[in-house]
Amino acid sequence: MHLDGKIPGGPLPQKWERRKLDYALVSPANRRKYRVLVVGTGLAGASAAATLGELGYRVECVFFHDSPRRAHSIAAQGGINAAKNYQNDGDSVQRLFQDTIKGGDYRAREGNVYRLAEVSLRIIDQCVAQGVPFAREYGGKLANRSFGGAQVSRTFYARGQTGQQLLLGAYQALLRQVQAGTVRLSPRTEMLDLVVAHGKARGIVARDLVTGEIRTFVADAVVLATGGYGNAYFLSTYARNSNATAIWRAHRRGAYLANPCFTQIHPTCIPVSGEHQSKLTLMSESLRNDGRIWVPLRAGDKRSPEQIPEDERDYYLERRYPSYGNLTPRDVASRAAKAVCDEGRGVGPSGLGVYLDFADAIRRLGADVIAERYGNLFDMYAEITGEDPYRAPMRIYPAIHYTMGGLWVDYDLMSTIDGLFVIGEANFSDHGANRLGASALMQGLADGYFIVPLAVGSYLARAKPPAIDDAHPAFEDARNDTAARIERLLSVRGKRTAASFHRELGKLLWDTCGMSRNREGLERALTHIPELRDRFYRELLVPGRGETLNRELETAGRVADYFELGELICRDALHREESCGGHFREEYQTPDGEALRDDEHFAYVAAWQWREGEPPILHKEPLVFEAAPPMQRSYK
Amino acid sequence: MRIALEVWRQRSPEAPGQFVRYETTEASPDMSLLELLDVVNEGLVQKGEEPIAFDSDCREGICGTCGFMVNGLAHGPLQGAAACQVYLRNFRDGETLWIEPFRAKAFPLLKDLVINRSALDRIIAAGGYVTVNTGNAPEANTSTIHKDDAEQAMDAAACIACGACIAACPNASAALFTGAKITHLGKLPQGQPEQGRRALRMVRAAAAEGFGHCTFAGECETACPKSIPLQVITQMNHDYLAARLSGEGHVQPRHIEPGTPKRRR
Ligand SMILES: Cc1cc2nc3c(=O)[nH]c(=O)nc-3n(C[C@H](O)[C@H](O)[C@H](O)COP(=O)(O)OP(=O)(O)OC[C@H]3O[C@@H](n4cnc5c(N)ncnc54)[C@H](O)[C@@H]3O)c2cc1C
Ligand code: SF4
Ligand code: FES
């Protein structure tokens, strides 16, 4: 199959305008005849469902949380970008576009990224109008701060709770539609399969997480907004329940999965403290604005930080990247931290940590100013580690944080299955091989508020999907498949928990396909994962029945999908013989240890097609760069 | 360290519940209370028993999913922390913790520690928003907002809808939760036009869900992991009364049958 990104012609600034003109419209009276199913209520899903509801479609919203407001988006701390140029520091749509393309190491589509930069302006307007309490200056205007990978100040924030406040804005808009009767919510309901009939996405099969009942939802178009799959790695900054099942099931039904190995590692997380650990906590990147990152100059230096004099410290980011310093992008900062720890210069009990030091900033600005800027983050750190970051430097280490890969979509956010749209972190678009800070929230809301509602409408107007109900054989098949899968998990009756397998798989992925990868490790993972998966189906133990609230069953189903996805992640990493963004192949680096990209051979999106019982097929969507010609990504 | 847990186990809403004791020896002070429950659960599963059902997601105090009573206190013994932010270093070695679900008529129990808090969504749906359609917004910096107002709005907006205030309240009142949203939107210019209507509708929705009346017992403020101040309740009462007195929400056009003659003065 030829992968057509369907990017409109013409110069970049006119592409989106043109596409909007091309879109077919559904008249207001006809909109209520169409049912649109939105799975997920994070920033992407809630904003899409609310907007589709406002337009008058009949919207059904399915999600596994107990309330739409609890989606993982709520955890985002740092902020959201927009090219408003309120600081008069030279920002513009063009510059945000360029920074994002460069940040993604030239592995994203120009057309999409330009549109994202354009739409960013309206996102802030929309959120402010909804009552999102963004930080303000004394003059009453919106405040901004700067973020890793950017030299302008374009990040809007609401204390350290930006994701929460943006989500509440979208959630409130969504509930307003619930009240108005245009949107119906199905909480605590987990999508377990996608239904494709006559080549079109027509609904889903889901499990009611309270009663265990298997339910079907019929629709004229399906929008997946189910978030990222970073939890495949077990330890990550994701909420515990984030998972890959929705996109993986859609993948198995024919949606291609693109760039699965592109994973963002966040440099500023609290290091692991022990075996029992269930997740990693992120410390917002904004800390890098004032905190200085260092390790001892000498390997094995076990002295406490205050005993190490200035000239025996290595401020390695400031040394290696003088123009960005502590604000280098995440992939660069993460790898640099790994490098110093590999040299034996890591700090803390495990040796896997570096200092993030505020002593200078406190001396310069006073503890009060620091408390005002980062107080809640400092409290959080103290709570988790039992140490006081006002007195001793924080210890941080990189962790899995975001997945740039996801289901392949065209410019209209439609997957390779007709009528299946994918938005937010669940799709692969816009970020390329690396996501900059504050750009995921922007993309989720751009997709949900401004892009998918129009694209879905145009699809419905043109495709005019025929009436269908859940007696159709495609629904019957999907229901049976789901029941069989659940039965299989329940009937193993071995003696190991799903979580123990998850931990083992996650460790393997982190070791072989984490911050850096090489052929030997990836090949090892590709033989180990199938073995581990076989053991899973022989030794798993899920107590209880399917027809009740059964958390172990939920976990087991998710872990089962991680095995298949994990294999694809490694396969993708193995085939990409270059280093770019979050993908660092040790064989491909410059003499001074920077990523070595190969634009001649790898300037494409890698989209994988599932085949049952056989290796997946790789399809390539070539990337063309006209407005932002690729250049060496240097932050020196 | 050793921590014993007495956990409320209840199979289903209809089944009777009881406390069941679990002794743990694997606890470390760096573990969170929820991680201890994970460890207990892994042990239970390995024995083929059903694990303790409890809700959690972000595990960093922001999503509002977790929450139960620990020794009679909502979210446990720490001020300003959700259950997932409680670490074992806050307990004594050998201590016994009594863990039971948040209880309120409007929060039906589903299983063990898991409750249904959808009533809170319905209170928001009744009016906890600014009516603005997507694409309808003016340039963001056309309205200025006093920094203090923005800060106060943010203080109130920090509510995570965990329901602890309700569990802690002797009347199971949702006043702190409802007041928080009313204050958040009411502090901002965008929230003004609907202020009275919002208060009327949300307060009535809370009553209809079976939440009790506020008698200023003050327990909610202590239980709240986000330190939402009691003033938000004052604000709610103020907005509600003002709306009642101004007749907001009652202005309905008089119904007139066709052919009704003009009234004589
Ligand atoms: C700690 C942290 C901090 C971050 N900080 C920032 C930041 O400062 N700036 C920034 O731009 N980005 C940040 N990010 C990234 C950003 O938050 C996410 O990428 C983004 O919020 C994802 O939104 P989403 O709507 O795509 O998905 P999510 O918010 O993950 O929502 C997924 C939704 O899908 C539902 N769902 C999933 N699977 C199923 C299923 N099978 N059936 C039914 N429902 C399902 C869930 O219930 C949920 O409603 C941060 C991420 C983390 C972890
Ligand atoms: S007011 Fe506080 S206790 Fe009540 S729901 Fe909100 S965060 Fe929880
Ligand atoms: S798990 Fe999210 S607040 Fe506790």
Nearest CA in chain A to B62: A75
Rounded CA-CA distance A225/A616 in Å is: 24
Instruction: List, for residues A203-226, the tens digit of each pLDDT value.
Output: 999 999 999 999 999 999 999 999
- pLDDT tens profile B196-229: 999 999 999 999 999 999 999 999 999 999 999 9
pLDDT at A358 over 70: yes
Q: For residue A148, what pLDDT is reported? A: 67
> pLDDT band at residue A149, thresholds of 50, 70 and 90?
low
Question: What does the pLDDT look like over A240-264, one tens digit per residue?
Answer: 999 999 999 999 999 999 999 999 9
Average pLDDT over every residue of A549-578: 98
Average pLDDT of chain B?
94
Other C-beta atoms lying within 10 Å of the C-beta of residue A538: 10
Judged by CB atoms within 8 Å, which residues 5-44 of B form the interface with A? Answer: 11-12, 26, 28-32, 34-35, 38-39, 42, 44
Closest to A147 (Cα-Cα) out of A440, A382, A376, A381? A440
Query: How far is the centre of ligand 1, averaged over its atoms, from the C-alpha of A72 (Å)?
Result: 4
Identity of the residue in B29, B49, B190 whose CB atom sits nearest the CB atom of A543 = B49
For B154, half-sphere exposure in the C-beta direction (CA atoms, 13 angstrom radius) is: 20
pLDDT the model gives residue A374: 85
Interchain contact B61–A (C-beta under 8 A)? yes
Please give the backbone phi and psi of residue B234, each rounded to the nearest 5 degrees, phi first: -60, -45
Does B163 sit in the ligand 3 pocket, CB within 6 Å? no
Write out pLDDT tens, residues A437-474.
Answer: 899 999 999 999 999 999 999 999 999 999 999 999 99
Residue A240 CA: nearest ligand 3 atom is 1
Question: Residue A42 Cα, ligand 1 centroid: separation in angstroms?
Answer: 6
Amino acid at A161: Q
pLDDT of B255 = 77
Q: Rounded to whole angstroms, how far apart are CA atoms A306 and A296?
A: 11
Q: How much distance in Å is there from the Cα of B57 to the middle of ligand 3? A: 6
Q: Please name the helix (run of DSSP H) or strand (run of DSSP E) that holds residue A222, with its range, or none.
A: strand A221-224
Q: How far apart are CA A328 and CA A355, in angstroms?
A: 16
Q: What angle do CA A168, A420, A105 make, to 5 degrees?
A: 75
Residue A114: which of A8, A226, A260 has the closest Cα? Answer: A8
The rounded distance, in Å, linking the Cα atoms of A177 and A70 is: 18
Number of H-type helices and E-type strands within chain A: 18, 19
- Over residues A126-146, mean pLDDT: 96
CA A145 – CA A87 distance, rounded (Å): 10
Distance from residue A57's CA to the centre of ligand 3 (Å): 33
Helix A93-103 vs helix A110-130: crossing angle, to nearest 10 = 120
Residue nearest to atom 2 of ligand 2 (CA): B224
Looking at CA atoms only, how far is residue A628 from chain B in angstroms? 29
List the single residue in A with minimal CA-CA distance to B142. A141
Residue A43 and residue A227 in contact, taking contact as beta carbons nearer than 8 Å: no
Q: What is the pLDDT of residue B251?
A: 57
B134 with A69: Cβ contact below 8 A? no
Please answer yes or no on whether B45 and A210 come within 8 Å at the CB atom: no
* Residue A601 burial (10 A CB sphere; 0-12, 13-18, 19+): exposed
Atom of ligand 2 at shortest distance to CA of B220?
A: 3
Instruction: Tell me the nearest-neighbour CA distance from B100 into chain A, angstroms.
Output: 18
| Stretch 131-190 of chain B: residues touching chain A, C-beta under 8 Å | 131-141, 143-147, 150, 153-154, 157-158, 160-161, 184-185, 187-188, 190
Query: Nearest CA to CA, how far is A240 from chain B (Å)?
Result: 5
Q: Smallest CA–CA separation between B62 and chain A, in Å?
A: 6
B11 exposed, middle or buried (CB, 10 Å; 0-12, 13-18, 19+)? middle
Q: Looking at the predicted structure, is the pLDDT value of residue B265 above 80?
A: no
Ligand 1: residues whose CB is within 6 Å?
A 39-45, 62-65, 71-73, 75-80, 162-163, 190-191, 225-228, 237-238, 242, 245-246, 282, 401-402, 424-426, 437-441, 444
Residues 6+ apart with CB under 8 A from B252: none
CB contact under 8 A, A176 and B48: no
Distance of CA B180 to the CA centre of its chain: 10
Of the candidates B168, B183, B186, the one whose C-alpha atom is nearest the C-alpha of residue B223 is B168
A327 Cβ contact list (under 8 Å, min separation 6): A146, A147, A148, A149, A150, A288, A289
How high is the pLDDT of residue A147?
78
> With contacts defined as CB-CB under 8 Å, which chain A residues touch B65?
65-66, 70
CB contact under 8 A, B154 and A158: yes
Rounded CA-CA distance A26/A457 in Å is 6
What pLDDT score does B253 carry?
66
- On whether the CB atoms of residues A351 and A411 are closer than 8 A, the answer is no
**How many helices, marked H, and strands, marked E, lie in chain B?**
8, 7
| Overall size of chain A counted in residues | 636
Residues 6+ away with beta carbon under 8 Å from B219: B165, B168, B169, B170
Q: Whose CA is nearest to atom 30 of ligand 1?
A: A227
Confidence grade of residue A277 (pLDDT, cut at 50, 70, 90): confident
User: Distance (Å) from the C-alpha of residue A626 to the closest C-alpha of chain B?
Assistant: 30
Q: Which of A364, A9, A365, A50 is nearest to A176 (CA)?
A: A50
Find the A227 Cα to ligand 1 centroid distance in Å.
Answer: 5
pLDDT at A539 over 60: yes
Instruction: Give per-residue pLDDT as tens, B28-52.
Output: 998 999 999 999 999 999 999 999 9
Nearest residue of chain A to residue B48 (CA atoms): A543
CA atoms within 13 A on the CB side of A242: 32
Which string of DSSP letters, residue by residue, matches A88-157?
Answer: -SS--HHHHHHHHHHHTTT-S-HHHHHHHHHHHHHHHHHHHHHT----B-TTSSBP-B--TT-SS--EE-
Q: Which ligand is nearest to the CA of B221?
A: 2
Pocket of ligand 2 (CB under 6 A): B 159-165, 176-177, 180, 223-226, 228
Query: What is the residue-averaged pLDDT of chain A?
Result: 95
Specify the pLDDT at position A372.
Answer: 84
Confirm if A510 and A222 have CB atoms less than 8 A apart. no
Owner of token pair 């001074």: A592
Q: DSSP letter for A69, please.
A: G
Interface touch A84/B125, C-beta < 8 Å? no
**Mean of pLDDT values over A164-183:** 98
> Token pair for residue A249?
């099931």
Strand-strand pairing, B109-111 and B96-100: unpaired
Interface A–B counts its CB contacts (< 8 A) at 212
Among B residues 214-253, those touching chain A with beta carbons less than 8 Å apart: none
Q: Among the atoms of ligand 1, which is closest to the Cα of residue A401?
A: 53
Tell me: pLDDT of A40 over 70. Answer: yes
Residue in B44, B53, B65 closest to A70 by CB? B65
Whether the pLDDT of residue B166 is over 70: the answer is yes
CA angle A547, A549, A550 (to 5 degrees): 90
Of A131, A277, A551, the CB nearest to B188: A131
- Compute the distance from residue B161 Cα to the ligand 2 centre, in Å: 5
**Ligand 1: nearest atom to the Cα of A190:** 42
CA B149 – CA B189 distance, rounded (Å):
10
- How far is Cα A328 from Cα A320, in angstroms, rounded to an integer? 10
pLDDT at residue A331, as a whole number: 87
* CB-CB neighbors (< 8 A) of A86 in chain B: 141
Nearest atom of ligand 1 to the alpha carbon of A157 = 8
How many angstroms separate the alpha carbon of residue A186 from the centre of ligand 3? 21
* Count of CB atoms situated within 10 Å of the CB of A14: 13
**Across B254-260, average pLDDT:** 77
Instruction: Verify whether the Cβ–Cβ distance B110 to A549 is below 8 Å.
Output: yes
pLDDT for the residue A286: 82
Q: Which atom of ligand 3 is nearest to the CA of B57?
A: 1
